[in-house]
C-alpha cells in the first residue's frame, strides 16, 4: 500500500481544482480574475518564472493602446530573488529606475519608460512561502 502513496499523491496534485478565468468588460475597461496572460503593457521579463496571475485590469483608449493597467500575481520565489530580477531588468536601460523604497515589509519600485510611460512595482511578503507582486502601468501621452 505504501508503495502506491507517491503515485496517489501525484494524481491528487494534478487533479486539484484550477481557478476559472472570469472576465468583466465595462466599455474600455477589462477586469480579469485568474487571467491566462498578463496585459501586454507589462514587460514580462520583470515577472518571476513560476508566477500565478491572480487579477488584472486594463483601461484602453482604443482596441490596441493601453492607457492604464494593473496586475496582481503571486510567486514562491524568494523576496531577494524577485528584487534582484527587478533591479537587473531595470539596469537594461529601457526602463529607468526612478525610486526604490522599503516600508512595512513592502518594497516599492517606480520606473520610467520611453514615450512617457511609468511602471510601479510593489513586492510584499505574506506569512507563508508566497510573495505578492503588484504592477501598475500608466501611459502619460496619447501616442
Q: Tell me which residue has cell 498578463.
A: 38
Q: Is the dihedral of CA 49, 52, 57, 61 positive or negative?
A: positive
pLDDT tens readout for residues 52-83: 899 999 998 876 778 899 999 999 888 888 89
Most confident of 41-45, 92-96, 106-110: 106-110
Cα–Cα distance for residue pair 9/109, rounded to 1 Å: 40
C-alpha to C-alpha distance for 12 and 130, rounded to whole angstroms: 22
Q: Output the pTM of the full model.
A: 0.81
Confidence of residue 110 (pLDDT cuts 50, 70, 90): very high
Three cell numbers written together for 125: 511578503
Residue 98: is its pLDDT beyond 60? yes
pLDDT band of residue 139 (cuts 50, 70, 90) is confident
pLDDT at 60: 85
pLDDT of residue 1: 47
One CATH from 2.30.230, 3.30.310, 3.90.79, 3.40.50 for 2-139: 3.30.310
* 61: Cβ contacts below 8 Å, ≥ 6 apart: 28, 67, 142
Write down the pLDDT at residue 14.
Answer: 56
Amino acid at each position: 500500500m505504501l508503495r502506491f502513496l507517491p503515485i496517489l499523491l501525484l494524481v491528487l496534485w494534478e487533479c486539484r481544482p484550477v481557478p476559472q478565468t472570469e472576465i468583466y468588460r465595462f466599455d474600455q475597461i477589462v477586469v480579469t480574475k485568474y487571467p491566462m496572460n498578463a496585459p501586454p503593457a507589462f514587460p514580462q521579463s520583470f515577472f518571476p518564472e513560476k508566477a500565478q496571475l491572480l487579477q488584472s485590469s486594463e483601461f484602453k483608449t482604443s482596441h490596441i493602446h493601453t492607457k492604464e493597467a494593473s496586475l496582481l500575481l503571486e510567486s514562491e520565489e524568494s523576496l531577494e530573488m524577485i528584487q534582484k530580477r527587478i533591479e537587473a531588468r531595470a539596469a537594461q536601460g529601457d526602463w529607468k529606475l526612478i525610486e526604490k523604497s522599503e516600508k512595512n515589509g513592502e518594497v516599492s519600485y517606480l520606473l520610467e519608460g520611453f514615450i512617457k510611460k511609468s511602471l510601479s512595482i510593489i513586492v510584499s511578503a505574506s506569512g507563508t512561502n508566497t510573495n505578492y507582486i503588484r504592477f501598475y502601468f500608466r501611459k502619460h501621452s496619447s501616442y
